[in-house]
Amino acid sequence: MLTVQQLTKVYGDKIQYEALKGINLTVEDGEFVGIMGPSGSGKSTLLNLLATIDQPTSGEVLLNGQNPNRLNQEDIAKFRRRELGFVFQSFNLMPTLTVEENIILPLTLDGEKIGIMKRKLKELAPRLGIQSLLKKRIAEISGGQAQRVAVARAMIHQPNLLLADEPTGNLDTKSSKDVMGLLRQLNEEENATILMVTHDPLAASYCKRIVFIKDGELIHEIARHSSQKSFYEEIMIELARIEGVDNEF
């Protein structure tokens, strides 16, 4: 599905900062992978490169064997719209549109037929528990509902890879659990492949695998083999270990 090979990102000319240092990562079909690490570790930089929002200094990103960075700007935009789904901390919904219009926006941009858009919306909305919200404006719904709408928009075109950037960052505890439960449901029942950046160990415990990044390098990974509670405790131990190393300096 996703292969990252020797990925580096350097910012600046005279004074250079190496944000990523030779990252290698593989995500298989149907995986739910979390990326965690301290602030400034390179999490967001990595996600931006995978999302084709930014370009690597060296190395490559392959999605189903295709390197989007070799495409022209118009084709990259199509690739991003058709192959990837995005869920952001700030929702990034259009306030002037209804919930329904927000969800089908990727299909509208691709010129999809109205009948197909309605069918896909009818199939997706009940699974995400938002069918009663479709005619409402974004200002009329809660943060947790807005994030569900954002997930629906990300999944409406059945992307190969769903990228989530701190999807629970603006939500209360209950809404966070609801959204993470939804992502896990999509992963387990729809076989959606999800890559999520998060600083929240509770959100991370919904993943199947966690990759830890520090100072631009992948330093460790753990996989869930038992209960979510046990995995949460394992994540907490690993985060404490990473932060403990930081505190020695």
User: What is the CATH classification number for the domain harbouring 132?
Assistant: 3.40.50.300
Can you give the pLDDT at residue 247? 42
Would you say 49 and 56 are in contact if contact means Cβ atoms under 8 Å apart? yes
How does 207-223 read in b/e, with b if 16+ C-beta sit within 10 Å? bbbbbbbbebebeebbe
Name the residue range of residue 49's domain: 2-243
Domain count, the chain: 1
Can you give the pLDDT at residue 234? 95
Give the number of other CB atoms < 10 A from CB of residue 168: 27
**Nearest Cα to 150, choosing from 215, 103, 191, 200?**
103
Label residue 111 exposed, middle or buried (CB < 10 Å: 0-12, 13-18, 19+): exposed
Mean pLDDT of 24-43: 93
Would you say 83 and 161 are in contact if contact means Cβ atoms under 8 Å apart? yes
Is the residue at 198 inside a domain? yes
Is the residue at 168 inside a domain? yes
Can you give the pLDDT at residue 70? 86
Q: What are phi and psi of 54, to 5 degrees?
A: -130, 165
Is the residue at 120 inside a domain? yes
Please tell me the pTM assigned to this model.
0.88
Per-residue confidence band for 103, with pLDDT thresholds at 50, 70 and 90: very high
Per-residue confidence band for 243, with pLDDT thresholds at 50, 70 and 90: confident
Tens digit of each residue's pLDDT (9 = 90 or more) over 111-137: 889 999 999 999 888 888 899 999 999
Can you give the pLDDT at residue 224? 94
Is the residue at 39 inside a domain? yes
Is the residue at 249 inside a domain? no
Q: What is the CA radius of gyration of the chain?
A: 18
Would you say 59 and 82 are in contact if contact means Cβ atoms under 8 Å apart? no
Mean pLDDT of 47-63: 91
Is the residue at 248 inside a domain? no
Can you give the pLDDT at residue 99? 94
Q: What is the secondary structure of the chain as a DSSP string? A: -EEEEEEEEEE-SSS-EEEEEEEEEEE-TT-EEEEE--TTSSHHHHHHHHTTSS--SEEEEEETTB-GGGS-HHHHHHHHHHHEEEEETT----TTSBHHHHHTHHHHHTT--HHHHHHHHHHHHHHHT-GGGTTSBGGGS-HHHHHHHHHHHHHTT--SEEEEESTTTTS-HHHHHHHHHHHHHHHHHH---EEEE-S-HHHHTTSSEEEEEETTEEEEEEE--S-HHHHHHHHHHHHHHHHHHHHT-
Tens digit of each residue's pLDDT (9 = 90 or more) over 209-241: 999 999 999 999 999 998 999 999 999 999 999
